[in-house]
Structure 1
């Protein structure tokens, strides 16, 4: 399919963008069956589909959030217990007690971060797809292609397009007049009021003027939003009076409100952050700033991104409510009970290792004689080093010179200490 050729995204995001673009392309085609040709509605349905597909990650993240509301008080007690104890043994003990709490609730320290890390490349790819719809939605591309084709053939088209990109602040990277995809990228970000300027710039080419006259109206129609707005335009345009502010201001306002509602719903079961701690203070600041950041971004970005932002927050909120209802029906106690056996097996597996770690942490090298270090190291290294030590002792018994004996002992001790350090590192890993 041509969508694979048109994809402009590179690197790790490319496979995600291809899959998401494939979905968006067929949503648009599905709407065409009912005579609907509208990119804004496609973005809304596209956002719904993506959020539904990500429900497993959302469930995992919300489950961890539910557990965190119970774990955090216990974790904070452990942290306070060891806050002024920085010796190695205390750090080991704090780590063991912290892990025991996670085991008790069947959770993982990375349980809240992992779903977000998985979602990040998907979210970045989503922005790429929505920012460049013609590269992924073939019917939309075909409309822009009707204008891009005659532009490529027009005399002096390269200089004209370069001037338009600069004067109209069109967002396009590495523009190349011989690449039709780059021309389409530039045309896609032309505002609904900017087509007359493009037509005037190509007034010397009848084919370009005719194509713009015929297809610009259709482009404005498929990109339209109720209220006379357009997804390619910023919702708020200063310097145009009340018409430049209203009704466009509704988009950033709804973006901020929907983001605030989503945060309230997703965090309502979590304990209030401890404002005295650095982490709690940072989280509280982020919760306050995120709705305002949504407003700012949706004022400066094209309205299409604002539509996505609002739809995403609304769908996430609805999904969170449904998942929360599921967890209310299935109590946390039931979930914890189901995790006890699994946690017990993990604890049993770590029992012997933790005992050894505590023993090693309590040791001070300066309080252990040379022979003790050798024995500890040889116990972890096996028969090879034992034979080497035996050979060294045999040489000493045979009446070697004191200089030779000291040299052999020094080498053996060096090797033993190295083995002891290696053994500790292995347990640390």
Structure 2
């Protein structure tokens, strides 16, 4: 019997992330959602009641006045997740920390602390920081180039995992009768000396029930796929079609297998926007309505520069040909996305205005319809091995409620989604092996 089941994450963007500039205007959403702990607690409890695997907290550390509302004012991920840990019992808690502007020892200690506080439910979303302006907040004149970022990230993860193995699982007998607190033979220094980091160790915190936090990674570039296949337990990605999803799925699983890994121990969870209506037609109308409500050209133009290292596009004539020279500013930023935009503008003969409009136009989603339609489509992609589950974007509150109360029971009835948590740790929920 195949016990493979859909995994679900709740990806929170508070009062509005990229492309959702006006989400905060929804009266059902606290206008300060991104710093409102009561709102996060409510979302975590809703997601846990619906048996979600995890909550996923994104982060970055550079802003401009044109940044999305959620980016302008939000809680630091691990502080937030530590608060959620003591108010939930089963849901995984995944936070974003950059390898470019954090030292491995700090990352290892903070995540190990969250893992103990949550009794084995922590996850680390590994990023290399695409916002080039972050360098200026950490005393650097320039952001690391692409190759350096990813080489540094791979070594960083290995060092962190090495530190998480400082203590064997039974290193602390805590025997009061003999006065023996630690078995020193089960404590191991790391003594790492590499190209980017030198870390002696050991880490001063014991292992959690799941051995170590779950590693998440996002990135569609060649370097990003290589890093994910080598280091990740779960890959966060995007897929515009079932065929695109299948191609990515085969690629990263194949890379992992060639590295000697079990491909079933690497999960693929793309982001998904879901709209549920009483009928398919009503759901499409809801999708169109919120797209128009949440977007504006003026804010999209300000945000447009993010992929290009926050290049200032306001200096150009909107109706002149797209400024291809702007691509140079993206070399140390989100270059894969920026190049795709610039190439498309050149091929289509777009002006800057047309490039911005093209980026913000509605692209009807795959998971839009009645609850029955959405459940059927989610099952189709899952069974076709285009993915292992979904990181669901939380936007308008009433839509998340409809998903948890209407779609989830249908997935359960189809036998592709759990009816109870399998254990107490995130690794158990995801079907991943405990790290010994």
Q: Same fold (TM over 0.5)?
A: no
Q: Which protein, 1 or 2, shows the higher relative CO under an 8 Å CA cutoff with sep ≥ 6?
A: 2
TM-score (norm 1): 0.23
Task: Report the TM-score, using the length of structure 2 for normalisation.
Answer: 0.22
- Which structure has greater strand proportion? 2
Bigger share in helix: 1
Question: Which entry has the higher C-alpha Rg, 1 or 2?
Answer: 1
